[in-house]
């Protein structure tokens, strides 16, 4: 029995966003104490076989924390101490945003999922940029850049660039054109809108630059994204964001809440999108969507992901999730006769 299995029933009695803030406060306190180093030692799995090089970064392990958990870049030290191999903070917008009215985050307990319609609440690019400039962690630290709520799609390129320039000390940049919870994002996922945004970011020097996809894109639209990735020589693709679809299998009463669904219910589709992309490009893929065990991470890696990320799994499995996945990945590599994660990347792509 670990500590989280005792804390979880109590946390799960709180509204989901209140629980998130409680965890946030705990992690913030923790990262300022001397406990930080011994915990990091316990939870960091160090093994050369887990090392991955992708989009100009060296990852000591392939398990990252996805965007949305640390929207304001306040916790990278704590997250690193939990054994994650990289962190993506944000989504960040040019100006501070309050996001949507609460409640806006819902657990789907019977489905190991979440629905959120946070609406890109964040402290804004300037505050987050200053924080990032003062943050040093020994894992790659990326930032998720999103469109400001009230900016029209035609003004989106300048808006993304304004944000980029404030946060440009990060190690990599993810252009988020796939948020289902804020105004006007659908209009960004067509080929010409994407080209304008990504071209403008490239002109400002954004690199390594990755694009984050919605799992709701039909195949022709994914092909358009791949064409843009090639045209602008992007360093990577993050697949995927949350879905607005509601699979018929969902059992939880919260399934009819509006917003983006994440976790176990999107695992399969997200993996299939990774596989689809990997069969069509050599650009590194960050696989995300429903990863909560080593087997889940391994499936995404075999489908073509160089590294993986998770958010919802952390809520259900607790703070030892990165260590548990990394240990399990080593066992799976051994079982299948691979001498490294990199050797397993894409072995099951189409
Ligand atoms: C509460 C919440 C907030 C999120 N915020 C963002 C965000 O700001 N930007 C983004 O690109 N993705 C955001 N995401 C999506 C995650 O980064 C991830 O793509 C998605 O949840 C699928 O992974 P998971 O199943 O491991 O949670 C958010 C997800 C959740 C649950």
Task: For residue 350, tell me if it sits in a domain.
Answer: no
Could you tell me if 81 and 36 are in contact, meaning their C-beta atoms sit under 8 angstroms apart?
yes
**Site of tokens 């306040």:** 74
> pLDDT above 70 covers what percent of the chain?
99
Q: How many angstroms does the Cα of residue 335 sit away from the middle of ligand 1?
A: 31
Could you tell me if 182 and 146 are in contact, meaning their C-beta atoms sit under 8 angstroms apart?
yes
Task: For residue 349, tell me if it sits in a domain.
Answer: no
Q: How many angstroms does the Cα of residue 106 sit away from the middle of ligand 1?
A: 13
Number of domains forming the structure of the chain: 1
Residue 1 has pLDDT above 70, yes or no: no
Residue 63 has pLDDT above 90, yes or no: yes
Retrieve residue 112's tokens: 């190991």
The residue count of the chain comes to 350
**DSSP character for 291?**
-
Per-residue model confidence as pLDDT tens digits over 280-303 = 999 999 999 999 999 999 999 999
Residue 350 has pLDDT above 90, yes or no: no
Q: How many angstroms does the Cα of residue 220 sit away from the middle of ligand 1?
A: 24
Task: For residue 24, tell me if it sits in a domain.
Answer: yes
Taking each continuous run of H as one helix and of E as one strand, the counts in the chain are 13, 13
Using DSSP bridges, classify how beta strands 141-146 and 172-176 pair: parallel, antiparallel or unpaired: parallel
Please tell me the distance from the alpha carbon of residue 57 to that of residue 76, in angstroms, as a whole number: 17
Catalytic residue among 177, 179, 201, 303: 179
Ligand 1 atom at minimal distance to the Cα of residue 288: 23
Per-residue model confidence as pLDDT tens digits over 73-102 = 999 999 999 999 999 999 999 999 999 999
Task: For residue 48, tell me if it sits in a domain.
Answer: yes
Binding residues for FMN: 67-71, 91, 144, 176, 212, 240, 263, 290, 311-312
Q: What range does the domain containing 258 cover?
A: 3-344
Buried-exposed string 196-211: b where 16+ CB fall within 10 A, e elsewhere: bbbebbeeeebebbbb
Task: For residue 220, tell me if it sits in a domain.
Answer: yes
Q: What is the pLDDT of residue 62?
A: 98
Q: Is 161 part of the annotated catalytic residue set?
A: no
Residue with CA nearest ligand 1 atom 19:
241
The DSSP secondary structure of 86-100, one letter per residue, reads EEEEEEE-SS-B--S
Binding residues: 67-71, 91, 116-120, 144, 176, 181, 212, 240-242, 263, 290, 311-312
Q: How many angstroms does the Cα of residue 109 sit away from the middle of ligand 1?
A: 17
Using DSSP bridges, classify how beta strands 307-310 and 63-65 pair: parallel, antiparallel or unpaired: parallel
Residue 49 has pLDDT above 90, yes or no: yes
Could you tell me if 57 and 171 are in contact, meaning their C-beta atoms sit under 8 angstroms apart?
yes
Ligand 1 atom at minimal distance to the Cα of residue 67: 17
Binding residues for substrate: 71, 116-120, 176, 181, 241-242
Q: What is the pLDDT of residue 183?
A: 67
Task: For residue 188, tell me if it sits in a domain.
Answer: yes
Ligand 1 atom at minimal distance to the Cα of residue 146: 9
What CATH code is carried by the domain that includes residue 303? 3.20.20.70
Task: For residue 51, tell me if it sits in a domain.
Answer: yes
Q: Which of 126-130, 145-149, 177-181, 307-311 has the lowest mean pLDDT?
A: 177-181
Q: What is the mean pLDDT of residues 257-263?
A: 98
Q: Widest CA span of the chain, in angstroms?
A: 53
Which residues form ligand 1's pocket by a CB distance below 6 Å? 66-68, 71, 90-91, 105, 114, 116, 118, 120, 144, 176, 179, 212, 241-242, 262-263, 266, 288-291, 310-313
Q: How many angstroms does the Cα of residue 194 sit away from the middle of ligand 1?
A: 20
Per-residue model confidence as pLDDT tens digits over 113-167 = 999 999 999 999 999 999 999 999 999 999 999 999 989 989 999 999 999 999 9
């Amino acid at each position: 029995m670990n500590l989280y299995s005792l804390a979880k029933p109590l946390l799960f009695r709180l509204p989901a966003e209140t629980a998130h803030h409680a965890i946030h406060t705990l992690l913030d306190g923790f990262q300022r104490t001397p406990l930080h180093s011994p915990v990091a030692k316990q939870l960091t799995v160090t093994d050369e076989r887990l090392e991955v090089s992708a989009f100009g970064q060296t990852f000591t392990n392939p398990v990252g924390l996805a965007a949305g958990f640390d929207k304001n870049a306040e916790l990278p030290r704590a997250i690193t101490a939990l054994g994650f191999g990289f962190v993506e903070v944000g989504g960040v917008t040019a100006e501070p945003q309050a996001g949507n009215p609460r409640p806006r985050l819902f657990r789907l307990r019977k489905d190991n999922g979440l629905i959120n319609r946070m609406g890109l609440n964040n402290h804004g690019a300037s505050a987050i940029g200053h924080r990032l400039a003062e943050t040093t962690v020994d894992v790659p630290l990326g930032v998720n850049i999103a469109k400001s709520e009230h900016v029209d799609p035609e003004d989106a390129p300048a808006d993304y660039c304004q944000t980029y320039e404030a946060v440009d000390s990060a190690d990599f940049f993810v252009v988020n054109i796939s948020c289902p919870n804020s105004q006007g994002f659908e209009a960004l996922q067509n080929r010409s809108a994407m080209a304008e945004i990504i071209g403008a970011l490239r002109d400002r020097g954004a690199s390594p630059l990755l694009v984050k996809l919605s799992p709701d894109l039909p195949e022709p639209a994914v092909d358009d994204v791949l064409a843009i990735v090639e045209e602008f020589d992007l360093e990577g693709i993050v697949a995927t964001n949350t879905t607005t679809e509601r699979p018929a299998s969902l059992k939880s009463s919260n399934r009819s809440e509006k917003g983006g669904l994440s976790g176990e219910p999107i695992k399969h589709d997200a993996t299939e999108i990774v596989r689809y992309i990997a069969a069509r490009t050599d650009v590194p893929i960050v696989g995300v969507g429903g990863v909560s065990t080593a087997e889940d991470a391994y499936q995404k890696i075999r489908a073509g992901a160089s590294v993986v990320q998770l958010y919802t799994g952390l809520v259900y499995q607790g703070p030892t999730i990165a260590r548990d996945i990394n240990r399990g990945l080593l066992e799976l590599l051994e079982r299948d006769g691979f001498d490294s994660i990199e050797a397993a990347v894409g072995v099951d792509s189409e």
